[in-house]
């Protein structure tokens, strides 16, 4: 199928325009969405802190009630003597002063037998003698209290398999300090959460214990294994057409983890604003793209019309139609067409370069955004490019190879867009599975960019920058000079910046220490000639990194002094 010249001209630019629009729309949407999510996450974190503080206050109040009951004069003697009437008389006023409707006060003797149970209410307590065996006799917390083990105040859940009551246990001691029994003060978890709105409690296996929200979030095994004392986990959920955001944290009472706490908030407004923002940006990019295509089509039609006429005439004559005169042109017209064609060609070349630069700028912006996902890698690609160009200058690479190297350095980690945040931002060494995920980023980056002709010369640097001189790298295990020279340069620059950058689990090396580490790997990880060129440009490299505001550049100066 023969396409008019105008379409052959405009179609490649249309493809570039679509690519730039999709990437630009994605980057802009991600940045603006993050700006909207930050306040929502901050509110969730504030709610979690408030909920934990309220649970601490409940713990303090019940301990105070328990201390009042155990320290009431005469309780120890009555318990030691088995005087249930005396215990009832002494403890009934204590239970009556507690403002918790579900308070459950129990008295056990030194053998764990239940002597008395008082269930309080705001209307007034009632009591009775319990003759059946104690329900708590084998509970480790009760045994610790009766055994006089430290700490002498214990907390435990009761009501398996779905605990619903939280008990505080403390010893009752005689005047000589001997433990003569135990006192338990329990409160329903439903009543505990009545004052902690928008939250839910779960046991260690993830079973929901109590909730003050109508649709509590589900605690999965993955989230349960991820939540730590210093690491809360954000979870998004949707039910019955509504969106929710939840933050899971540990539920710790008196130093022991009893389960997990979740706070939840409606996210309908957040999701709505995200969708609206995404729609607006898509419409804006689409409108801009269509307008650009229309203007381009009109311009291409105007410029190529004389060429179309000439081509049709030449085709008709070549097919034997010697009588064809409709589009026969004079020498002056041919000269005009030639000049027009040359002008169009020059204009298209300029536009092609401009579009390539625009597309590359979008790619570079995306790569910088990926660097910025982790504060410890912010600016990494720009610094790798600067170091690579210094080494390339020492090795006398051509201008063409240096430009390809610069682009590869700026885009070498773009494939990390496919690596999850939990792996990319992990504050410690990666496990085997996470390391495998991270090793996918060169192939992901190559697959993203392999369709762009103007980046063909830079693709090896994106795909092979983790290959090693001794063949032990990835993704293909290339060895020695089979690795292109620009890629060998990029590998040294990449490792040097990583060594001299701070990470959450270590401080970056000084320039001297990093240079020594690079020198040791000559002939193993790195091309020896590239290492020699790198070391010869030390002063220029350090100056370039200071200009870029490299964190930690003062270390080299301090240590040298």
Question: Of the ranges 285-289, 328-332, 349-353, which one carries the lowest mean pLDDT score?
Answer: 328-332
Angle at CA 200, nearest 5°, toward 51 and 45?
Answer: 40
CA distances (Å), 94 to each of 30, 55, 134, in order? 58, 22, 22
CA distances (Å), 493 to each of 3, 386, 412, 518, 524, in order? 47, 9, 11, 10, 16
Domain annotation covers residue 334: no
| pLDDT at res. 248 | 95
CA distances (Å), 144 to each of 76, 139, 265, in order? 18, 9, 40
CATH at residue 139: 3.30.450.20
| pLDDT at res. 333 | 47
Does residue 128 carry a pLDDT above 50? Answer: no
* Segment 517-535 mean pLDDT: 95
3-state secondary structure 290-351: HHHHHHHHHHHHHHHHHHHHHHHHHHHHHCCCCCCCCCCCCHHHHHHHHHHHHHHHHHHHHH
Domain annotation covers residue 355: no
Task: Residue 216: name the closest of 235, 241, 195, 188 by CA.
Answer: 235
CA torsion sign for 170, 171, 174, 176 is negative
pLDDT above 90 covers a percentage of the chain that reads: 36
Q: At what angle do helices 380-394 and 331-371 cross, to 10 degrees?
A: 120
Q: Which residue has the tokens 């700028």?
A: 361
Q: In this structure, are 79 and 222 located in the same domain?
A: no
Domain annotation covers residue 27: no
Does residue 329 carry a pLDDT above 50? Answer: no
Among residues 266, 289, 305, the one where a domain terminates is: 266
- What confidence category does residue 224 fall into, taking pLDDT thresholds of 50, 70 and 90? very high
Measured CA to CA, the distance from residue 90 to residue 102 in angstroms comes to 20
Asked whether the beta carbons of 450 and 420 are under 8 A apart, the reply is no
Asked whether the beta carbons of 268 and 239 are under 8 A apart, the reply is no
Q: Which residue has the tokens 């955001």?
A: 245
Over residues 418-451, the pLDDT tens digits come to 888 788 778 778 888 888 988 999 998 898 888 8
Start-to-end C-alpha separation, the chain: 73
Q: Give the range of the structural domain holding residue 219, as residue numbers without chain letter.
A: 197-266
Question: Of the ranges 25-34, 237-246, 291-300, 530-539, which one carries the lowest mean pLDDT score?
Answer: 25-34
Q: In this structure, are 171 and 235 located in the same domain?
A: no
CATH at residue 231: 3.30.450.290
Q: In this structure, are 494 and 378 located in the same domain?
A: yes
- Pairing type for strands 242-253 and 256-266 reads antiparallel
Does residue 327 carry a pLDDT above 60? Answer: no
Question: Of the ranges 252-261, 291-300, 497-506, which one carries the lowest mean pLDDT score?
Answer: 291-300
Q: In this structure, are 182 and 226 located in the same domain?
A: no
Measured CA to CA, the distance from residue 366 to residue 376 in angstroms comes to 17
What is the enclosing helix (H) or strand (E) of 257?
Answer: strand 256-266
Does residue 533 carry a pLDDT above 50? Answer: yes
CA distances (Å), 271 to each of 91, 216, 232, 277, in order? 54, 19, 22, 10
Measured CA to CA, the distance from residue 123 to residue 139 in angstroms comes to 31
Q: In this structure, are 166 and 151 located in the same domain?
A: yes
The residue among 108 and 368 whose pLDDT is bigger is 108
Task: Residue 310: name the closest of 347, 344, 350, 349 by CA.
Answer: 344
Over residues 377-422, the pLDDT tens digits come to 678 888 999 999 999 999 999 999 999 999 899 888 888 878 887 8
Domain annotation covers residue 542: yes
Does residue 219 carry a pLDDT above 60? Answer: yes
- Pairing type for strands 154-158 and 199-203 reads unpaired
The residue among 362 and 105 whose pLDDT is bigger is 105
Measured CA to CA, the distance from residue 437 to residue 421 in angstroms comes to 11
| pLDDT at res. 557 | 45
Domain annotation covers residue 543: yes
The residue among 161 and 59 whose pLDDT is bigger is 59
- What confidence category does residue 559 fall into, taking pLDDT thresholds of 50, 70 and 90? very low
Domain annotation covers residue 258: yes
Domain annotation covers residue 449: yes
| pLDDT at res. 556 | 46
Among residues 224, 241, 266, the one where a domain terminates is: 266
Tell me if the bond preceding 137 is cis, omega within 30° of 0: no
Q: In this structure, are 429 and 529 located in the same domain?
A: yes
Q: In this structure, are 529 and 423 located in the same domain?
A: yes
Q: Work out the mean pLDDT of the chain and round it to a whole number.
A: 80
Q: What domain count does the chain have? A: 3
Q: What is the DSSP secondary-structure string of 419-474? A: S-HHHHT-SS---HHHHHHHTTHHHHHHHHHTT-GGGGGGHHHHHHTT--TTS--S
pLDDT above 70 covers a percentage of the chain that reads: 72
Question: Of the ranges 120-124, 181-185, 308-312, which one carries the lowest mean pLDDT score?
Answer: 120-124
Among residues 192, 207, 227, the one where a domain terminates is: 192
* Segment 272-293 mean pLDDT: 71
Q: In this structure, are 418 and 450 located in the same domain?
A: yes
Q: In this structure, are 209 and 223 located in the same domain?
A: yes
Question: Of the ranges 201-215, 333-347, 491-505, which one carries the lowest mean pLDDT score?
Answer: 333-347
Greatest alpha-carbon span in the chain: 133
| pLDDT at res. 182 | 93
Does residue 101 carry a pLDDT above 70? Answer: yes
Does residue 223 carry a pLDDT above 70? Answer: yes
Asked whether the beta carbons of 239 and 218 are under 8 A apart, the reply is no
Q: What is the DSSP secondary-structure string of 128-166? A: E---SPPTTTT-HHHHHHHTTPSSS-EEEEESTTS--EE
**233 half-sphere exposure, CB direction, 13 A CA radius:** 20
**pTM of the model as a whole:** 0.47
Measured CA to CA, the distance from residue 462 to residue 415 in angstroms comes to 8
Domain annotation covers residue 243: yes
- Strand ordering across the sheet containing 154-158: 126-128, 114-119, 104-109, 179-188, 165-173, 154-158
The residue among 296 and 152 whose pLDDT is bigger is 152
Does residue 472 carry a pLDDT above 90? Answer: yes
Q: In this structure, are 121 and 262 located in the same domain?
A: no
Both tokens assigned to 363: 């790619």
| pLDDT at res. 96 | 82
Measured CA to CA, the distance from residue 69 to residue 83 in angstroms comes to 16
Q: In this structure, are 219 and 96 located in the same domain?
A: no
Contacts of 384 (CB under 8 A, 6+ apart): 409, 410, 412, 490, 493, 494, 497
CATH at residue 397: 1.10.3210.10
Task: Residue 36: name the closest of 369, 370, 366, 271 by CA.
Answer: 271
Does residue 375 carry a pLDDT above 60? Answer: no
Name the most confidently modeled range: 130-139, 258-267, 338-347. 258-267
Q: How many CB atoms neighbour CB 133 within 10 A? A: 10
Q: In this structure, are 93 and 137 located in the same domain?
A: yes
Over residues 241-278, the pLDDT tens digits come to 788 889 999 999 988 899 999 999 887 776 666 666 66
Q: How many CB atoms neighbour CB 524 within 10 A? A: 11
């Amino acid at each position: 199928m023969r396409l008019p010249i105008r379409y052959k001209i405009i179609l490649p630019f249309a493809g570039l325009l679509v690519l730039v629009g999709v990437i630009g729309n994605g980057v802009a949407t991600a940045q603006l969405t993050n700006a909207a999510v930050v306040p929502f996450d901050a509110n969730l974190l504030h709610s979690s802190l408030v909920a934990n503080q309220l649970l601490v206050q409940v713990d303090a109040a019940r301990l105070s009630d328990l201390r009042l009951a155990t320290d009431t004069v005469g309780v120890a003697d009555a318990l030691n003597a088995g005087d249930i009437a005396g215990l009832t008389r002494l403890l009934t006023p204590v239970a009556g002063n507690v403002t918790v409707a579900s308070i459950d006060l129990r008295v056990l003797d030194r053998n764990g037998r239940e002597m008395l149970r008082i269930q309080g209410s705001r209307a007034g307590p009632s009591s009775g003698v319990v003759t059946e065996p104690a329900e708590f006799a084998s509970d480790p917390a009760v045994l610790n209290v009766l055994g006089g083990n430290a700490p002498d105040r214990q907390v435990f859940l009761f009501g398996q398999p779905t605990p619903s009551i939280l008990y505080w246990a403390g010893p009752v001691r005689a005047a000589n300090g001997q433990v003569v029994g135990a006192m338990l003060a329990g409160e329903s978890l439903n009543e505990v959460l009545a004052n902690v709105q928008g939250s839910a409690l779960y046991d260690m296996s993830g079973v929901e214990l109590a909730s003050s929200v109508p649709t509590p979030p589900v605690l999965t095994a993955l989230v349960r294994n991820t939540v730590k004392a210093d690491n809360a986990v954000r979870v998004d959920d949707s039910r019955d057409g509504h969106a929710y955001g939840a933050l899971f944290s540990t539920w710790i009472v008196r130093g022991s983890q009893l389960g997990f706490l979740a706070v939840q908030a409606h996210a309908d407004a957040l999701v709505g604003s995200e969708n609206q923002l995404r729609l607006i940006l898509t419409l804006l990019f689409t409108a801009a793209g269509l307008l650009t295509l229309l203007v381009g089509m009109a311009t291409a039609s105007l410029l190529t019309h004389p060429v179309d006429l000439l081509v049709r005439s030449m085709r008709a004559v070549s097919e034997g139609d010697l009588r064809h005169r409709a589009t026969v042109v004079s020498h002056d017209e041919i000269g005009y067409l030639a000049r027009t064609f040359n002008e169009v060609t020059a204009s298209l070349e300029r536009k092609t370069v401009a579009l390539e630069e625009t597309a590359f700028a979008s790619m570079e912006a995306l790569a910088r955004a990926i660097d910025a996902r982790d504060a410890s890698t912010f600016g990494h690609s720009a610094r790798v490019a600067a170091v690579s160009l210094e080494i390339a200058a020492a090795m006398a690479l051509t201008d063409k190879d240096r430009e390809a190297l610069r682009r590869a350095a700026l885009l070498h980690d773009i494939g990390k867009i496919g690596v999850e945040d939990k792996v990319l931002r992990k504050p410690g060494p990666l496990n085997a599975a996470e390391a495998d995920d991270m090793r996918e980023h060169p192939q992901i980056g190559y697959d993203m960019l392999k369709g762009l002709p103007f980046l063909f010369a830079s693709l090896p640097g994106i795909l092979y920058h983790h290959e090693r001189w001794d063949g032990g790298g990835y993704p293909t295990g290339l060895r020695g000079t089979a690795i292109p020279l620009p890629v060998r340069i990029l590998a040294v620059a990449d490792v040097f910046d990583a060594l001299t950058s701070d990470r959450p689990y270590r401080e970056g090396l000084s320039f001297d220490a990093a240079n020594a580490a690079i020198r040791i790997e000559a002939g193993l990880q790195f091309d020896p000639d590239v290492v020699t060129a790198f070391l010869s440009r030390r002063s220029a490299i350090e100056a370039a990194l200071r200009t870029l505001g490299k964190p930690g550049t003062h270390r080299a100066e301090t240590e040298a002094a």
